[in-house]
């Protein structure tokens, strides 16, 4: 079964500095990979996905992620963090067969310090 590891519970970054949220995955076959963000008392919002093609994926709000097959990673990045980026970030993976069930990581709390 597919799974995701998000090793850090919380990521603290100063406003204006680069932001990186780490994700590694496990799945049989080529993965479908997603990043979602969750603000307090809100549902998850889609940021970006990797299905196939270019390993660097660009998404909403200036976020991007790089797919690295050899390291089974899909780290989320933003060149310059904003205070409004403070939220909970989830990485998710599904397999390219069956019912495409998404397996989510436990999430990373990102705190951007003014």
Partner 1 sequence: EAGVAQSPRYKIIEKRQSVAFWCNPISGHATLYWYQQILGQGPKLLIQFQNNGVVDDSQLPKDRFSAERLKGVDSTLKIQPAKLEDSAVYLCASSPLPLAGGQHEQYFGPGTRLTVT
* Residues in touch with partner 1 (CB under 8 A): 4, 32, 34, 36, 41-46, 49, 51-52, 90, 92, 94, 96, 99-102, 104-107
End-to-end CA separation in angstroms for the chain: 40
Shortest Å, Cβ 99 to partner 1: 5
Question: What's the CA dihedral at 11, 105, 47, 44 to 10 degrees?
Answer: -100
**What gap in Å lies between CA 91 and CA 23, rounded to an integer?**
6
Residue number, 30 or 72, with CB nearest to partner 1: 30
CB of 105 to partner 1, least distance (A): 5
We find the least distance from the C-beta atom of residue 45 to partner 1, in angstroms, to be 7
Please identify, using beta-carbon distances, which residue of 19 and 89 lies nearer to partner 1. 89
Cα separation, 90 vs 93, in Å, equals 10
Q: Which is nearer to partner 1, 92 or 110 (CB)?
A: 92
Distance in angstroms (rounded) separating the CA atoms of residues 68 and 55: 7
Q: Which is nearer to partner 1, 70 or 99 (CB)?
A: 99
CB of 107 to partner 1, least distance (A): 6
Closest CA to 6 of 19, 27, 22: 22
């Amino acid at each position: 079964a597919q799974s995701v590891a998000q090793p850090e519970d919380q990521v603290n970054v100063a406003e204006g500095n680069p932001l990186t949220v780490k994700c590694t995955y496990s799945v049989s076959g080529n993965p479908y990979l997603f990043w979602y963000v969750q603000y307090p008392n809100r549902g998850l919002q889609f940021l970006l996905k990797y299905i196939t093609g270019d390993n660097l994926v660009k998404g909403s709000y200036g976020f991007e992620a790089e797919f690295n097959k050899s390291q089974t990673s899909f780290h989320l990045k933003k060149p310059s963090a904003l205070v409004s980026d403070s939220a909970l970030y989830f990485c998710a993976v599904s397999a390219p067969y069956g019912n495409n069930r998404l397996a989510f990581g436990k999430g990373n709390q990102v705190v951007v310090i003014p």
